Structure 1
Amino acid sequence: MQEVDEEFYDRADTHIHLSNDQINEKVGMGKVSASNMYATARFNAWVSACGWQSGQEMAEAKEETLEYFVAEYRKMLEDNLNDYIDNFESYMQVNKNA
């Protein structure tokens, strides 16, 4: 992952808080997660489009763009999975006496 600026985690936390607020009796974690992934994909498609002068240029870079975003997401997901594995009891508030 690239070096992060001072507000990187604050921006991420804002999205996490919004997602947590959207979870309720009718909409579970899975649906909120799917909406998040769609929003991220849609936003990143727009970010990518901003770097090109035409759809043809964008199409020519499509595979490279996909490889970049998938690799970055994989690294971030792996880092966060490892963090939850290492801190499962405290993050998930598991009662060791249960």
Structure 2
Amino acid sequence: MSKSDAIEQEKQSQLYDLVDALVELANQATDKALDPGEAHQAMMYATARYGAFIVAASSESKEDYEQDKLDARNFYMDQFRQLLNENFDDYLANFDQYLDSD
């Protein structure tokens, strides 16, 4: 394995660790006060807020931000749609295993 492959593999590992930590945080919130739908809403809001921050922080000016936000919004929506479809398909294929159904 090349050094760049090892770095990419480490980044992927860190990404999935972060995903697991965020899902665990949402699960903890549902154990305390929120129902799963409310926890999901909070995660979507956080994702939208962070996405807007990333675009704003990478823009050189307010005018650039205004120009960049449409392309970024389309990118984020396409990405979310793709990830949602992949996860729906994954749950369909593994429904009994993931939900421990009999």
Q: TM-score range by the shorter chain?
A: 0.7 to 0.9
Residue 70 (structure 1) aligned with residue 77 (structure 2): yes
| Residue 5 (structure 2) aligns with | none
The number of equivalent residue pairs is 93
| Residue 33 (structure 1) aligns with | 40
Higher-helix-fraction structure: 2
Change (3 A) 1:87 1:68: same
Runs of at least 5 residues in structure 1 that lack an aligned partner in the other structure: none
By relative contact order (CA 8 Å, sep 6+), the higher-ranking structure is 1
Paired AA for residue 61 in structure 1: D
The runs of at least 4 consecutive aligned structure 1 residues that moved more than 3 Å come to none
Deviation at 1:89, TM superposition (A): 0.7
- Taking structure 2 as the reference length, the TM-score comes to 0.84
Runs of at least 5 residues in structure 2 that lack an aligned partner in the other structure: 1-8
1:4-52 Cα deviation digits (max 9, x unpaired): 6231111100000000000036420111100110001001111111111
Residue 23 (structure 1) aligned with residue 35 (structure 2): no
Query: More displaced, 20-29 or 31-40?
Result: 20-29
Deviation at 1:85, TM superposition (A): 0.3
- Taking structure 1 as the reference length, the TM-score comes to 0.87
1:70-91 Cα deviation digits (max 9, x unpaired): 0111111111111000000111
Query: Structure 1 vs Structure 2: percent identity of aligned residues?
Result: 26
